Protein backbone atom coordinates (compact mmCIF):
# COMPACT_ATOMS: atom_id res chain seq x y z
CA UNK A 1 0.00 0.00 0.00
CA UNK A 2 1.25 3.47 -0.90
CA UNK A 3 1.81 5.69 2.14
CA UNK A 4 3.08 9.18 2.86
CA UNK A 5 6.56 7.62 3.10
CA UNK A 6 6.58 7.40 -0.70
CA UNK A 7 6.21 11.18 -1.06
CA UNK A 8 9.13 13.49 -1.83
CA UNK A 9 8.80 17.04 -0.59
CA UNK A 10 9.29 19.63 -3.34
CA UNK A 11 8.06 22.77 -1.59
CA UNK A 12 6.09 24.25 1.30
CA UNK A 13 2.81 22.85 -0.03
CA UNK A 14 3.91 20.43 -2.74
CA UNK A 15 5.01 16.79 -2.66
CA UNK A 16 5.78 14.37 -5.46
CA UNK A 17 4.69 10.75 -5.78
CA UNK A 18 7.43 9.53 -8.12
CA UNK A 19 7.05 7.24 -11.11
CA UNK A 20 7.52 3.69 -9.88
CA UNK A 21 5.43 3.99 -6.74
CA UNK A 22 3.23 1.39 -8.47
CA UNK A 23 4.15 -0.53 -11.63
CA UNK A 24 3.08 1.07 -14.89
CA UNK A 25 2.97 4.73 -13.82
CA UNK A 26 3.38 6.92 -16.91
CA UNK A 27 3.68 10.26 -15.09
CA UNK A 28 4.45 11.36 -11.52
CA UNK A 29 1.88 12.47 -8.99
CA UNK A 30 1.75 15.98 -7.55
CA UNK A 31 0.21 16.30 -4.09
CA UNK A 32 -0.70 19.78 -2.91
CA UNK A 33 -0.71 19.44 0.87
CA UNK A 34 1.01 20.54 4.07
CA UNK A 35 2.20 18.70 7.15
CA UNK A 36 -1.00 19.45 9.08
CA UNK A 37 -3.07 17.59 6.47
CA UNK A 38 -0.66 14.75 5.73
CA UNK A 39 -1.71 12.61 8.69
CA UNK A 40 -5.25 12.29 7.30
CA UNK A 41 -3.81 10.38 4.31
CA UNK A 42 -2.62 7.52 6.51
CA UNK A 43 -6.16 6.22 6.98
CA UNK A 44 -7.24 5.59 3.38
CA UNK A 45 -6.10 4.49 -0.10
CA UNK A 46 -6.11 7.91 -1.73
CA UNK A 47 -2.38 7.99 -2.54
CA UNK A 48 -2.56 4.48 -4.00
CA UNK A 49 -5.51 5.60 -6.12
CA UNK A 50 -3.51 8.62 -7.30
CA UNK A 51 -0.61 6.35 -8.32
CA UNK A 52 -3.01 4.01 -10.14
CA UNK A 53 -4.50 6.98 -12.00
CA UNK A 54 -1.02 7.72 -13.36
CA UNK A 55 -1.13 4.41 -15.29
CA UNK A 56 -4.04 5.45 -17.54
CA UNK A 57 -3.36 5.32 -21.29
CA UNK A 58 -2.75 8.78 -22.73
CA UNK A 59 -2.20 10.53 -19.39
CA UNK A 60 0.19 13.48 -19.69
CA UNK A 61 2.53 15.60 -17.56
CA UNK A 62 1.34 14.59 -14.08
CA UNK A 63 -1.68 13.57 -12.05
CA UNK A 64 -2.52 15.84 -9.15
CA UNK A 65 -4.18 15.66 -5.76
CA UNK A 66 -5.75 18.69 -4.15
CA UNK A 67 -5.39 19.38 -0.38
CA UNK A 68 -8.87 17.94 0.27
CA UNK A 69 -7.82 14.53 -1.13
CA UNK A 70 -9.55 11.44 0.24
CA UNK A 71 -10.48 7.99 -1.01
CA UNK A 72 -13.02 7.74 -3.80
CA UNK A 73 -14.10 5.34 -6.54
CA UNK A 74 -11.15 4.69 -8.86
CA UNK A 75 -9.73 8.20 -8.69
CA UNK A 76 -9.23 9.81 -5.30
CA UNK A 77 -11.65 12.62 -4.55
CA UNK A 78 -9.62 15.74 -5.15
CA UNK A 79 -7.90 14.04 -8.09
CA UNK A 80 -6.95 15.61 -11.43
CA UNK A 81 -5.69 13.90 -14.57
CA UNK A 82 -5.41 15.04 -18.19
CA UNK A 83 -5.26 12.71 -21.18
CA UNK A 84 -4.24 13.79 -24.66
CA UNK A 85 -6.89 13.75 -27.34
CA UNK A 86 -8.02 12.17 -29.54
CA UNK A 87 -6.91 8.75 -28.24
CA UNK A 88 -6.37 9.37 -24.51
CA UNK A 89 -8.90 7.66 -22.30
CA UNK A 90 -11.99 8.90 -20.50
CA UNK A 91 -12.68 7.25 -17.13
CA UNK A 92 -16.11 7.63 -15.49
CA UNK A 93 -14.37 7.07 -12.13
CA UNK A 94 -12.38 10.22 -12.85
CA UNK A 95 -15.61 12.18 -13.06
CA UNK A 96 -17.56 10.51 -10.27
CA UNK A 97 -21.09 9.28 -9.72
CA UNK A 98 -22.58 12.71 -9.04
CA UNK A 99 -21.72 14.22 -12.42
CA UNK A 100 -21.34 18.01 -12.26
CA UNK A 101 -21.90 18.24 -8.58
CA UNK A 102 -21.11 21.90 -8.07
CA UNK A 103 -21.48 25.10 -6.09
CA UNK A 104 -23.34 28.27 -7.01
CA UNK A 105 -23.21 31.48 -4.99
CA UNK A 106 -25.90 34.17 -5.18
CA UNK A 107 -25.36 37.73 -3.97
CA UNK A 108 -27.93 39.89 -2.22
CA UNK A 109 -27.86 43.63 -1.66
CA UNK A 110 -28.74 43.13 2.02
CA UNK A 111 -26.47 43.04 5.04
CA UNK A 112 -26.88 40.85 8.11
CA UNK A 113 -28.19 43.93 9.94
CA UNK A 114 -30.83 44.42 7.23
CA UNK A 115 -32.01 40.82 7.64
CA UNK A 116 -32.02 41.03 11.44
CA UNK A 117 -33.98 38.34 13.25
CA UNK A 118 -35.67 36.99 10.09
CA UNK A 119 -32.95 34.44 9.38
CA UNK A 120 -34.85 31.60 11.05
CA UNK A 121 -37.95 32.45 9.00
CA UNK A 122 -35.87 32.47 5.83
CA UNK A 123 -34.37 29.07 6.68
CA UNK A 124 -37.83 27.60 7.29
CA UNK A 125 -39.23 29.00 4.03
CA UNK A 126 -36.30 27.68 2.03
CA UNK A 127 -36.62 24.25 3.62
CA UNK A 128 -40.29 24.12 2.58
CA UNK A 129 -39.57 25.39 -0.93
CA UNK A 130 -36.58 23.20 -1.83
CA UNK A 131 -37.21 19.44 -1.61
CA UNK A 132 -34.28 17.57 -0.08
CA UNK A 133 -33.41 14.03 0.90
CA UNK A 134 -32.37 10.74 -0.68
CA UNK A 135 -34.44 10.00 -3.79
CA UNK A 136 -36.93 12.75 -2.98
CA UNK A 137 -38.69 14.24 -5.98
CA UNK A 138 -39.63 17.86 -6.48
CA UNK A 139 -42.57 19.94 -7.58
CA UNK A 140 -41.57 19.69 -11.26
CA UNK A 141 -42.20 16.49 -13.15
CA UNK A 142 -40.92 16.48 -16.70
CA UNK A 143 -42.28 14.46 -19.57
CA UNK A 144 -39.78 12.67 -21.81
CA UNK A 145 -39.59 15.49 -24.37
CA UNK A 146 -39.00 18.13 -21.71
CA UNK A 147 -36.36 16.01 -19.98
CA UNK A 148 -34.54 15.56 -23.28
CA UNK A 149 -34.47 19.34 -23.73
CA UNK A 150 -33.00 19.73 -20.23
CA UNK A 151 -30.33 17.16 -21.06
CA UNK A 152 -29.46 18.84 -24.34
CA UNK A 153 -29.70 22.53 -23.39
CA UNK A 154 -29.17 22.72 -19.61
CA UNK A 155 -29.91 26.19 -18.26
CA UNK A 156 -31.01 27.25 -21.74
CA UNK A 157 -34.17 25.22 -21.07
CA UNK A 158 -34.65 27.13 -17.81
CA UNK A 159 -34.41 30.44 -19.70
CA UNK A 160 -37.18 29.19 -22.01
CA UNK A 161 -39.39 28.38 -19.01
CA UNK A 162 -38.75 31.68 -17.23
CA UNK A 163 -36.72 30.07 -14.44
CA UNK A 164 -33.54 31.97 -15.34
CA UNK A 165 -32.66 35.47 -16.38
CA UNK A 166 -30.66 35.85 -19.58
CA UNK A 167 -27.65 37.23 -17.70
CA UNK A 168 -27.61 34.25 -15.28
CA UNK A 169 -25.92 32.14 -17.91
CA UNK A 170 -23.03 34.60 -18.23
CA UNK A 171 -21.83 33.62 -14.76
CA UNK A 172 -22.14 29.85 -15.05
CA UNK A 173 -19.23 27.65 -16.09
CA UNK A 174 -19.78 26.74 -19.76
CA UNK A 175 -22.79 29.10 -19.58
CA UNK A 176 -24.72 26.23 -18.00
CA UNK A 177 -24.59 23.94 -21.04
CA UNK A 178 -21.88 21.48 -22.06
CA UNK A 179 -21.79 20.89 -25.81
CA UNK A 180 -21.99 17.43 -27.33
CA UNK A 181 -24.94 16.29 -25.21
CA UNK A 182 -27.09 13.65 -26.90
CA UNK A 183 -30.00 12.24 -24.83
CA UNK A 184 -30.06 9.06 -26.92
CA UNK A 185 -26.88 8.01 -25.08
CA UNK A 186 -28.61 8.23 -21.68
CA UNK A 187 -30.41 5.06 -20.61
CA UNK A 188 -34.13 4.91 -19.94
CA UNK A 189 -33.31 3.93 -16.35
CA UNK A 190 -31.22 7.09 -15.87
CA UNK A 191 -33.94 9.26 -17.39
CA UNK A 192 -36.57 7.69 -15.16
CA UNK A 193 -34.48 8.47 -12.09
CA UNK A 194 -34.21 12.14 -13.10
CA UNK A 195 -37.79 12.68 -14.25
CA UNK A 196 -38.99 14.25 -10.97
CA UNK A 197 -35.71 15.46 -9.45
CA UNK A 198 -35.18 18.82 -11.14
CA UNK A 199 -34.99 21.48 -8.44
CA UNK A 200 -34.12 19.12 -5.58
CA UNK A 201 -31.21 19.26 -3.18
CA UNK A 202 -30.51 15.62 -2.41
CA UNK A 203 -28.72 14.44 0.71
CA UNK A 204 -25.22 13.76 2.06
CA UNK A 205 -22.89 16.73 1.79
CA UNK A 206 -25.29 18.70 -0.39
CA UNK A 207 -26.63 21.87 1.15
CA UNK A 208 -28.32 25.21 0.77
CA UNK A 209 -26.69 27.82 2.99
CA UNK A 210 -27.34 31.45 3.77
CA UNK A 211 -23.99 33.01 4.58
CA UNK A 212 -22.54 36.32 5.75
CA UNK A 213 -19.41 37.91 4.29
CA UNK A 214 -17.14 37.84 7.32
CA UNK A 215 -13.98 39.40 5.87
CA UNK A 216 -12.70 40.66 2.53
CA UNK A 217 -9.01 40.05 1.86
CA UNK A 218 -8.71 41.48 -1.67
CA UNK A 219 -10.58 44.75 -2.16
CA UNK A 220 -10.06 44.92 -5.94
CA UNK A 221 -11.37 41.40 -6.56
CA UNK A 222 -14.09 41.84 -3.94
CA UNK A 223 -15.34 44.92 -5.77
CA UNK A 224 -15.21 43.12 -9.13
CA UNK A 225 -17.21 40.24 -7.67
CA UNK A 226 -19.74 42.56 -5.98
CA UNK A 227 -18.90 41.66 -2.37
CA UNK A 228 -19.06 43.87 0.71
CA UNK A 229 -18.52 43.23 4.47
CA UNK A 230 -21.58 41.87 6.26
CA UNK A 231 -23.32 41.02 2.97
CA UNK A 232 -25.77 38.11 2.92
CA UNK A 233 -25.12 35.56 0.18
CA UNK A 234 -26.66 32.18 -0.66
CA UNK A 235 -24.71 29.05 -1.60
CA UNK A 236 -26.20 26.03 -3.40
CA UNK A 237 -24.28 22.73 -3.47
CA UNK A 238 -25.80 19.80 -5.39
CA UNK A 239 -25.49 17.87 -8.63
CA UNK A 240 -27.20 15.61 -11.13
CA UNK A 241 -29.00 13.43 -8.56
CA UNK A 242 -30.05 9.90 -9.53
CA UNK A 243 -29.74 10.60 -13.24
CA UNK A 244 -26.01 11.29 -13.06
CA UNK A 245 -25.44 8.35 -10.75
CA UNK A 246 -27.10 6.01 -13.22
CA UNK A 247 -25.11 7.39 -16.15
CA UNK A 248 -21.90 6.60 -14.29
CA UNK A 249 -23.14 3.13 -13.31
CA UNK A 250 -24.15 2.32 -16.90
CA UNK A 251 -20.85 3.35 -18.47
CA UNK A 252 -18.58 1.84 -15.83
CA UNK A 253 -20.20 -1.51 -16.65
CA UNK A 254 -19.90 -0.93 -20.37
CA UNK A 255 -16.24 0.09 -20.19
CA UNK A 256 -15.35 -2.85 -17.98
CA UNK A 257 -16.70 -5.17 -20.64
CA UNK A 258 -14.70 -3.40 -23.37
CA UNK A 259 -11.25 -3.38 -21.68
CA UNK A 260 -10.00 -6.43 -23.56
CA UNK A 261 -11.28 -5.15 -26.89
CA UNK A 262 -9.48 -1.84 -26.32
CA UNK A 263 -6.34 -3.65 -25.04
CA UNK A 264 -6.33 -1.79 -21.75
CA UNK A 265 -4.86 -3.28 -18.58
CA UNK A 266 -5.54 -1.57 -15.27
CA UNK A 267 -4.25 -1.99 -11.72
CA UNK A 268 -7.77 -1.29 -10.40
CA UNK A 269 -10.97 -2.13 -12.27
CA UNK A 270 -12.61 0.94 -10.72
CA UNK A 271 -10.52 2.91 -13.24
CA UNK A 272 -12.58 1.39 -16.08
CA UNK A 273 -12.00 3.55 -19.14
CA UNK A 274 -12.04 3.70 -22.92
CA UNK A 275 -10.32 5.85 -25.56
CA UNK A 276 -12.19 9.12 -25.92
CA UNK A 277 -12.60 8.49 -29.65
CA UNK A 278 -13.98 4.96 -29.21
CA UNK A 279 -17.70 4.23 -29.30
CA UNK A 280 -17.77 3.66 -25.53
CA UNK A 281 -15.73 6.78 -24.81
CA UNK A 282 -17.53 9.18 -27.12
CA UNK A 283 -20.97 8.00 -26.03
CA UNK A 284 -20.03 8.34 -22.35
CA UNK A 285 -18.82 11.90 -22.99
CA UNK A 286 -22.15 12.65 -24.63
CA UNK A 287 -24.12 11.11 -21.74
CA UNK A 288 -21.88 12.88 -19.21
CA UNK A 289 -22.65 16.20 -20.93
CA UNK A 290 -26.37 15.41 -20.59
CA UNK A 291 -25.98 14.75 -16.87
CA UNK A 292 -23.89 17.90 -16.46
CA UNK A 293 -26.61 19.93 -18.15
CA UNK A 294 -29.20 18.38 -15.86
CA UNK A 295 -27.10 19.41 -12.85
CA UNK A 296 -26.78 23.02 -14.01
CA UNK A 297 -30.54 23.12 -14.63
CA UNK A 298 -31.13 21.57 -11.20
CA UNK A 299 -29.16 24.32 -9.47
CA UNK A 300 -30.93 26.90 -11.61
CA UNK A 301 -34.39 25.71 -10.59
CA UNK A 302 -33.31 25.75 -6.94
CA UNK A 303 -32.03 29.29 -7.49
CA UNK A 304 -35.38 30.26 -9.04
CA UNK A 305 -37.28 29.08 -5.97
CA UNK A 306 -34.77 30.70 -3.61
CA UNK A 307 -35.41 33.98 -5.41
CA UNK A 308 -39.17 33.56 -5.00
CA UNK A 309 -38.86 32.96 -1.24
CA UNK A 310 -36.31 35.76 -0.87
CA UNK A 311 -38.61 38.30 -2.49
CA UNK A 312 -41.61 37.05 -0.54
CA UNK A 313 -39.76 37.83 2.68
CA UNK A 314 -37.77 40.95 1.75
CA UNK A 315 -39.78 42.53 -1.07
CA UNK A 316 -40.10 42.27 -4.84
CA UNK A 317 -37.36 44.85 -5.37
CA UNK A 318 -34.80 42.65 -3.64
CA UNK A 319 -32.96 40.43 -6.07
CA UNK A 320 -30.28 37.76 -5.91
CA UNK A 321 -27.54 38.03 -8.52
CA UNK A 322 -25.48 35.04 -9.63
CA UNK A 323 -21.85 35.47 -8.59
CA UNK A 324 -20.66 32.24 -10.22
CA UNK A 325 -21.29 28.51 -10.60
CA UNK A 326 -18.45 25.96 -10.65
CA UNK A 327 -18.63 22.23 -11.22
CA UNK A 328 -16.32 19.77 -9.52
CA UNK A 329 -17.11 16.34 -11.01
CA UNK A 330 -16.50 16.63 -14.73
CA UNK A 331 -14.18 15.91 -17.66
CA UNK A 332 -13.63 18.75 -20.13
CA UNK A 333 -11.90 19.32 -23.42
CA UNK A 334 -9.44 22.15 -22.82
CA UNK A 335 -6.34 23.57 -24.49
CA UNK A 336 -3.18 23.63 -22.38
CA UNK A 337 0.50 24.23 -23.06
CA UNK A 338 2.68 21.10 -23.11
CA UNK A 339 6.36 21.46 -23.97
CA UNK A 340 5.70 24.89 -25.42
CA UNK A 341 2.85 23.72 -27.68
CA UNK A 342 -0.92 24.13 -27.43
CA UNK A 343 -2.46 20.69 -26.98
CA UNK A 344 -6.09 19.61 -26.66
CA UNK A 345 -6.54 17.63 -23.46
CA UNK A 346 -9.40 15.92 -21.68
CA UNK A 347 -9.08 17.16 -18.10
CA UNK A 348 -10.71 14.96 -15.45
CA UNK A 349 -11.58 16.88 -12.29
CA UNK A 350 -13.07 14.72 -9.58
CA UNK A 351 -13.82 16.63 -6.40
CA UNK A 352 -11.76 19.42 -7.93
CA UNK A 353 -12.82 22.67 -9.52
CA UNK A 354 -11.62 24.83 -12.37
CA UNK A 355 -9.58 27.87 -11.28
CA UNK A 356 -8.60 29.92 -14.33
CA UNK A 357 -6.53 33.05 -13.77
CA UNK A 358 -6.72 36.65 -15.00
CA UNK A 359 -7.05 37.19 -18.73
CA UNK A 360 -8.31 33.72 -19.59
CA UNK A 361 -11.04 33.94 -22.27
CA UNK A 362 -13.29 31.48 -20.41
CA UNK A 363 -13.52 33.82 -17.41
CA UNK A 364 -16.59 36.13 -17.57
CA UNK A 365 -15.64 39.55 -18.88
CA UNK A 366 -16.65 41.27 -15.63
CA UNK A 367 -14.09 39.17 -13.73
CA UNK A 368 -11.40 38.73 -16.39
CA UNK A 369 -9.04 41.33 -14.93
CA UNK A 370 -8.88 39.54 -11.56
CA UNK A 371 -9.55 35.88 -12.39
CA UNK A 372 -12.36 33.34 -12.11
CA UNK A 373 -14.30 33.12 -8.84
CA UNK A 374 -13.32 29.91 -7.04
CA UNK A 375 -15.89 28.66 -4.50
CA UNK A 376 -14.62 26.43 -1.69
CA UNK A 377 -17.18 25.37 0.95
CA UNK A 378 -15.99 24.52 4.44
CA UNK A 379 -18.49 23.09 6.91
CA UNK A 380 -21.79 24.21 8.33
CA UNK A 381 -20.08 25.17 11.58
CA UNK A 382 -16.95 26.91 10.32
CA UNK A 383 -16.38 29.02 7.20
CA UNK A 384 -16.31 28.87 3.42
CA UNK A 385 -14.17 30.87 1.02
CA UNK A 386 -14.52 32.81 -2.19
CA UNK A 387 -11.20 32.99 -4.01
CA UNK A 388 -9.89 34.05 -7.41
CA UNK A 389 -8.03 31.80 -9.83
CA UNK A 390 -4.29 32.35 -10.19
CA UNK A 391 -2.34 32.40 -13.46
CA UNK A 392 0.22 29.99 -11.97
CA UNK A 393 -2.45 27.29 -11.66
CA UNK A 394 -2.50 26.76 -15.42
CA UNK A 395 0.99 25.30 -15.27
CA UNK A 396 0.82 23.87 -11.76
CA UNK A 397 -2.51 22.01 -11.90
CA UNK A 398 -4.12 22.41 -15.35
CA UNK A 399 -5.94 25.42 -13.89
CA UNK A 400 -7.46 23.46 -11.02
CA UNK A 401 -8.17 24.00 -7.33
CA UNK A 402 -9.83 21.97 -4.58
CA UNK A 403 -13.60 21.77 -4.14
CA UNK A 404 -14.01 21.89 -0.37
CA UNK A 405 -12.53 20.94 2.96
CA UNK A 406 -12.59 17.20 2.21
CA UNK A 407 -13.78 14.42 4.49
CA UNK A 408 -11.51 12.98 7.17
CA UNK A 409 -14.13 10.71 8.80
CA UNK A 410 -16.58 8.39 7.10
CA UNK A 411 -20.26 9.04 7.67
CA UNK A 412 -20.43 5.98 9.92
CA UNK A 413 -17.47 7.18 11.97
CA UNK A 414 -18.98 10.66 12.27
CA UNK A 415 -22.23 9.23 13.63
CA UNK A 416 -20.26 7.32 16.27
CA UNK A 417 -18.70 10.54 17.51
CA UNK A 418 -21.55 13.03 17.14
CA UNK A 419 -25.17 13.05 18.25
CA UNK A 420 -27.26 14.93 15.71
CA UNK A 421 -29.59 16.78 18.05
CA UNK A 422 -26.70 17.94 20.23
CA UNK A 423 -24.95 19.26 17.13
CA UNK A 424 -28.09 21.12 16.11
CA UNK A 425 -28.25 22.80 19.51
CA UNK A 426 -24.55 23.67 19.36
CA UNK A 427 -24.92 25.29 15.94
CA UNK A 428 -28.06 27.16 16.97
CA UNK A 429 -26.16 28.50 20.00
CA UNK A 430 -23.60 29.93 17.54
CA UNK A 431 -26.38 31.84 15.77
CA UNK A 432 -26.73 29.37 12.88
CA UNK A 433 -30.32 28.47 12.01
CA UNK A 434 -30.34 24.75 11.16
CA UNK A 435 -33.07 23.13 9.10
CA UNK A 436 -32.64 19.40 8.52
CA UNK A 437 -35.20 16.58 8.41
CA UNK A 438 -32.87 14.08 10.05
CA UNK A 439 -30.64 14.35 13.13
CA UNK A 440 -28.72 11.34 11.78
CA UNK A 441 -28.06 13.13 8.50
CA UNK A 442 -26.88 16.15 10.43
CA UNK A 443 -24.39 14.06 12.42
CA UNK A 444 -22.93 12.58 9.22
CA UNK A 445 -21.97 16.08 8.10
CA UNK A 446 -20.63 17.33 11.42
CA UNK A 447 -17.73 19.80 11.16
CA UNK A 448 -15.34 17.32 12.82
CA UNK A 449 -15.90 14.92 9.90
CA UNK A 450 -14.02 17.32 7.63
CA UNK A 451 -10.47 18.59 7.34
CA UNK A 452 -9.64 22.03 8.71
CA UNK A 453 -10.70 24.41 5.93
CA UNK A 454 -8.12 26.98 7.06
CA UNK A 455 -5.31 24.46 6.42
CA UNK A 456 -6.81 23.66 3.01
CA UNK A 457 -6.99 27.34 2.02
CA UNK A 458 -3.42 27.92 3.24
CA UNK A 459 -2.23 25.16 0.89
CA UNK A 460 -4.22 26.59 -2.02
CA UNK A 461 -2.59 30.00 -1.58
CA UNK A 462 0.91 28.73 -0.85
CA UNK A 463 0.82 26.52 -3.95
CA UNK A 464 -0.41 29.39 -6.12
CA UNK A 465 -3.65 27.67 -7.18
CA UNK A 466 -5.98 30.48 -6.09
CA UNK A 467 -6.00 33.46 -3.74
CA UNK A 468 -8.40 34.53 -1.01
CA UNK A 469 -10.96 37.16 -1.82
CA UNK A 470 -13.48 36.73 1.01
CA UNK A 471 -14.41 34.48 3.90
CA UNK A 472 -18.10 33.75 4.53
CA UNK A 473 -19.72 32.14 7.54
CA UNK A 474 -23.05 30.26 7.70
CA UNK A 475 -26.07 31.88 9.30
CA UNK A 476 -28.72 29.41 8.06
CA UNK A 477 -28.19 25.83 6.87
CA UNK A 478 -30.67 23.64 4.98
CA UNK A 479 -29.66 19.99 4.54
CA UNK A 480 -31.29 16.83 3.25
CA UNK A 481 -31.88 13.78 5.41
Task: Extract the annotated binding site for Mn(2+).
Answer: 98, 206, 237, 328
Name the E strands within 356-429.
373-376, 384-389, 400-402
Q: Directed axis angle between helix 241-258 and helix 279-314, to 10°?
A: 170
Which residues lie below 8 Å from residue 386, measured CB to CB, with a gap of 6+? Answer: 105, 225, 227, 323, 373, 374, 375, 376, 469, 470, 471, 472
Yes or no: say if 13 and 19 are a contact pair by the CB < 8 Å rule.
Answer: no
Residues 376, 467: Cα–Cα separation, whole Å = 11
Count each helix (H run) and each strand (E run) in the chain, helices first: 15, 19
Residue environment code for 363-395, b if the CB has 16+ CB neighbours within 10 A, otherwise e: beeebbebbbbbbbbbbbbbbbbbbbbbeebbe
Phi-psi region of 415 (alpha: psi -120 to 50; beta: other; left: phi over 0): alpha
- Where would I find the beta strands (DSSP E) of 365-456? 373-376, 384-389, 400-402, 433-436
**Alpha carbon distance 310, 379 (integer Å):** 23
Contact indicator for 169, 176 with CB cutoff of 8 Å? yes
Instruction: Write the CB contacts of 212 (distance below 8 Å, at least 6 apart in sequence).
Output: 112, 230, 231, 232, 233, 472, 473, 475
Report whether 405 contacts 398 (CB < 8 A). Answer: no
The count of C-alpha atoms lying within 13 angstroms of the C-alpha of 46, restricted to the half-sphere facing its C-beta, is 31
Name the H helices within 34-84.
35-38, 46-53
Active site residue 70: no
Rounded Cα–Cα distance for residues 14 and 446 (Å): 29
Q: Sign of torsion, CA 360 374 119 241?
A: positive
Expressed in angstroms, the distance from the first to the final Cα of the chain is 35
Residue 296 DSSP SS3? helix
**8-state DSSP, 407:** B
Taking alpha carbons only, the member of 105, 176, 169 closest to residue 375 is 105
Q: Write out the catalytic residue numbers.
A: 403
Amino acid sequence: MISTQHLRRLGAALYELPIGAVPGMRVPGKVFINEALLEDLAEDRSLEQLANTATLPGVVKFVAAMPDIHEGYGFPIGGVAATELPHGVISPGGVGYDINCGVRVLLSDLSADDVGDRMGDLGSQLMRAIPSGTGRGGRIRLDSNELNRVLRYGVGYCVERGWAAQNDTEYLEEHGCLTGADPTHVSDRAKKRGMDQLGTLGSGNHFLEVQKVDEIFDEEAGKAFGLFPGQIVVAIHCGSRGLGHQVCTDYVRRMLSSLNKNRIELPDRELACAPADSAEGSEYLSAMACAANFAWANRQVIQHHVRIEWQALFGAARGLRTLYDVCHNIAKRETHILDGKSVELLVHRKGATRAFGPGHPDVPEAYRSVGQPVLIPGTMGTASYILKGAAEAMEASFGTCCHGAGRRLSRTAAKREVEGESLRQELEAQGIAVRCFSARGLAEEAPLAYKNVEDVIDVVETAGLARRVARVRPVAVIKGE
